[in-house]
Chains A and B, each alone.
Chain A
């Protein structure tokens, strides 16, 4: 796949990630302690898996910029830290855990990193006792990470089939 096409695809995926995070913020008040299912994480995971680390990172950064515009600097700092760290962890896991790790593991690891980084940033900004929230956030990351992991698995399978049918090869090694 050509680089131009990759960049265009990244743009579409970024828009999808933003749309998903807006969508889920509509029903966030239903959940305790500001927990979110992290649906946009599916997009970052998919990007990391199919396009590569740099593309996934740009999705996370652009999504944070959207948060900066719509929700201010505090939310931006938390979104950026959580997004970048979780992309980093997921990329490493995909790279080194090839056969031993599955979608659920990657989803859970990404959600864990995202939540814990946000907790760290909120500690740095507001200097309150955030450790109190850690257990709840970890448990929630396990649940939401598993859900997004399963959804990722389904997405990847479907899209791989579709793109193969259409004769497009998104596989990263294919470039250069």
Chain B
């Protein structure tokens, strides 16, 4: 048998196309917001929240307030000058993130982590 053939290239191209297709669909619901501030991480399972919560962080750049409810997480207020973080708005999909660079604080949304394809 040969090492590779025409069909091999087709298989590889089709699967790469599938990756792109699936990735465009997997802007799917995230589960946990990971708030990173000064090397420390705070995990918020925002899907379980029934009311709006506020988390206050004292950063090098001032006091940052991050808010979360059952539908997403967002920067409520920040003392930074450009307000990119606040303008990012609410994030909730797996892989999304919001960052406030001047204050050194970020939110990253993680998806479900309970599965893995671990068998022989």
* CB contact under 8 A between A103 and B117, given known A128-B112, A132-B28, A132-B112: no
Q: Which residue of B lies closest to A96 (CB)?
A: B7
**Count of chain B residues near A, Cβ 8 A:** 31
Residues B8 and A102 in contact, CB atoms below 8 Å apart: yes
Residues B5 and A138 in contact, CB atoms below 8 Å apart: no
Interface of A is mostly: helix
* CB contact under 8 A between A129 and B28, given known A28-B118, A33-B116, A105-B8: yes
- Chain A residues with CB below 8 A from B18, complex form: 134, 138
- Chain B residues with CB below 8 A from A141, complex form: 15
Residues B117 and A138 in contact, CB atoms below 8 Å apart: no
- Of the candidate stretches B19-27, B38-46, B57-65, B72-80, the one touching chain A is B19-27
Query: How distant is A22 from chain B, measured CB to nearest CB, in Å?
Result: 8
A72 and B120 alpha carbons, distance in the complex (Å): 12
* CB contact under 8 A between A108 and B7, given known A33-B117, A67-B120, A132-B94: no
Choose among B4, B28, B115 the residue that contacts A104 (Cβ–Cβ < 8 A): B4
A96 and B22 alpha carbons, distance in the complex (Å): 28
Chain B residues within CB distance 8 Å of chain A: 1-9, 11-12, 15-16, 18-19, 22-23, 25-26, 28-29, 94, 111-112, 114-120
